[in-house]
Structures are given as structure tokens and as C-alpha cells.
Amino acid sequence: MQALQLFGANTRRYHGLLVAPLTPPGKRNLLLSKVDESVEIDGQKHNIYSNIGKTYISKGYKYLISFEKDYIPIYTYKIEDVIIKKYICMEHGKNTVTILYKIFNSNKKTKIILTPIVNFRDFHKDTYNHEFELNQEQKNRKLKLIVDKQTSTPIYINVSEGKYIKHENDSFRNMFYIEEEKRGFNGEENHVIPGRYEIDVNENEQKDITFVASLEENIEEIDATQIIKKEKARIDVLVDNSKLKQTEKNKELIKNYIIATDNFVVYRPSFKLHTIIAGYPWFLDWGRDTLISFEGLLLKTKRYEIAKEVLLTMVRDIKYGLVPNRILRL
């Protein structure tokens, strides 16, 4: 199943490009399931996405020539003589995901098609056999989406260039989560497709395209290239501040260690304090797990100010009776 995930296919209900906490780090909702990409070369369409149904797996993975994780996930696709590199990066501290597509075109007329697949549901649940009532507002290439009437929080989507084509009553039906079925849960659900973006690429042209999905409204100002640069710089600062001895042999190991530890550090706006999340996809901050991981996550990496905030969060939880008795006995 790891291979399917590397191909970009969702195998669990928890998988998505944007799973946002509405009251951070809790009340997580799946907003953007995925983006399906296609490439049209001289009028011939090639789907480079991979999806799973109960009776099929779409074969976009055959165009995938490499995957690497260097700070962020990077996919490389080759379709005839067209190369597409895809970089996925979250904006730190925001409910925002960016995708940077770097297109290296051949001497043929080419079109890139980006189709966002969206939802708005609790990450523990599913929208099996659901009919969506999508409301969308469009301004240039920026979308404001309200998924179903009972959802008041909008999702914003924007692409840096190209043409947006609105779809009517379009759903992705019966996406199959094979791992959920193995666990004895329902393994299928529907998503909604608001429309698609089409971007023309001239012969022998190199082009960068930014795709953004967010709960933030000002997403047309976001450049994925800058988000990636900022994220790499932020991680490099954490590595340097850790003062962990780097050699040619362990340099990559230390960087990956810092990235892994940073993934568990989250911010609670209601407390104005940081805390440690127990794990993904579903855990929140648990006192026992925080204490077990405290040294490795925060002390070894010399994130002392964050460590103070985490302890203050635990004190606050104890004060308001949010910590189980077994934690207090520690």
C-alpha cells in the first residue's frame, strides 16, 4: 500500500492534501482530497493521476519516473518529451497547501489540466453516497467554495495562470480506501469537483505554475516558490539552532530528525501556547505521550522556549481537568 500512496492515490479516509484543524489542533476536516493532473500533447490527453476504485486503479503512475523527499515531497513525471516536477508544501502556521508545478515542454503544443477534488467533512467520517450542494464564487482564477449549505466556512482555491472552467453537479464517486476496508470500516466515499484549470504551455517553454488551497482568503498573493524557500530556510534554522554535530555521514539524518520532530509541534491559538501532538492521523495532545517524547522532540533539539510553552499547556490542562488521572500520577 505504500507504493499506492507514493503514486498519489488515497488509501485511507485520513489522506488528503489539506486536512485543516478548525480549532487548532482539533476539529480536523478534510478539505482538499487531491488534485488530478492531466497533460494534453497535440490534442492527445494523458492522465498522470492515480486513483483507486473497487474494480480499477487508474494508471497515471506509469508516467512517474521518480519520487523524493527532500524537505518536501517531489514527484517527477515524464509524458513523451514533457517533464513535470511537482512540489507539495504547506505554509507554516497556516491552513494552506501549495503545489508548485515546474513544466519543461518539448517542441509540441501542450496543455496542463488541474482538477481539484474537494470535500468538507470530519476526518473520522466519510461522505459515502452523498450528493453535494456546492456553491462557488469565481473572481478571475480564484474560487470561493461553500461545500454544502450546512458548511459556513469557505475553501479558497487559486491557480497562478490559465483558464478556469466551472463544472456543474460533478462528483468523484466511490473513491476507494482499501486500508479502511481492511480495518472493517466503509471504504468508499464521494467528493465534489468544482471545475478544472487549463494552462497552455508553448513549444519549448519552461513554466512554473502555483496551485493554492486554503482557509485564508488572500491566496492570490501566494507564490509556491517563495513558500518552499521559506520552509527550507525555517528547517535549516532549526537544524543550526539544535547544535547537533553534523558530519558528511549524518547531515541528512539530522535534517530528517529535525523535520520529524517539528511535525509534532503545534500551536493552540486558544491558549496562545505551543503543544505536542501525540501523532497523526487522529491523535491530539496527550500528557503521557508529551512527557515520553519531551526530551527527544524539544530538549535534544534545544527548542527550550517551545518546551516551556508545552509545560504551561500541560499545567493549564491539569488545572481545567483535561488530563487523565494516570498522567497526574506520573
pLDDT tens for each residue of 192-240? 999 999 999 999 999 999 999 999 999 999 999 999 999 999 999 999 9
pLDDT tens for each residue of 99-121? 999 999 999 999 999 999 999 99
Question: Is residue 61 located within the same domain as residue 187?
Answer: yes
| pLDDT, greater one: 70 or 280 | 70
According to the model, what pLDDT value does residue 326 have? 39
Question: Is residue 24 located within the same domain as residue 146?
Answer: yes
264 in Cβ contact with 280 (< 8 Å): no
User: Could you tell me the residue range of the domain that residue 152 belongs to?
Assistant: 2-221
The helix (run of H) or strand (run of E) holding residue 86 is: strand 82-90
Question: Is residue 195 located within the same domain as residue 287?
Answer: no
Q: Does residue 170 sit within a domain?
A: yes
Question: Is residue 62 located within the same domain as residue 196?
Answer: yes
211 burial (CB, 10 Å; 0-12 / 13-18 / 19+) is: buried
DSSP 316-327: HHHHTT-S-HHH
Angle of helix 224-242 versus helix 251-262 axis, rounded to 10: 110
Question: Is residue 168 located within the same domain as residue 80?
Answer: yes
Question: Is residue 244 located within the same domain as residue 160?
Answer: no
Who contacts 256 (Cβ-Cβ below 8 Å, separation ≥6)?
none
Q: What share of the chain is helix, strand, coil (3-state, %, to 5)?
A: 25, 40, 35
- The mean pLDDT value for 157-181 works out to 97
Q: In total, how many domains does the chain have?
A: 2
- CATH number, domain of 81, equals 2.70.98
pLDDT of 281 over the 90 cut: no
Question: Is residue 93 located within the same domain as residue 208?
Answer: yes
Separation of alpha carbons 137 and 139, rounded Å: 7
- The mean pLDDT value for 69-81 works out to 96
Q: Does residue 126 sit within a domain?
A: yes
Separation of alpha carbons 184 and 107, rounded Å: 50
Taking CB atoms within 8 Å and a gap of at least 24, the contacts of 61-68 are 61/7, 61/8, 61/9, 64/7, 67/6
Q: Does residue 226 sit within a domain?
A: no
Separation of alpha carbons 127 and 171, rounded Å: 11
Question: Is residue 67 located within the same domain as residue 191?
Answer: yes
Q: Does residue 93 sit within a domain?
A: yes
According to the model, what pLDDT value does residue 278 have? 92
**Cβ count within 10 A of residue 186:** 13
Q: Residue 325 — pLDDT band, cuts 50, 70, 90?
A: very low
According to the model, what pLDDT value does residue 328 have? 42
Amino acid, res. 230: K
147 burial (CB, 10 Å; 0-12 / 13-18 / 19+) is: buried
According to the model, what pLDDT value does residue 150 have? 77
Q: Residue 282 — pLDDT band, cuts 50, 70, 90?
A: confident
Question: Is residue 17 located within the same domain as residue 157?
Answer: yes
Question: Is residue 56 located within the same domain as residue 158?
Answer: yes
| pLDDT, greater one: 139 or 328 | 139
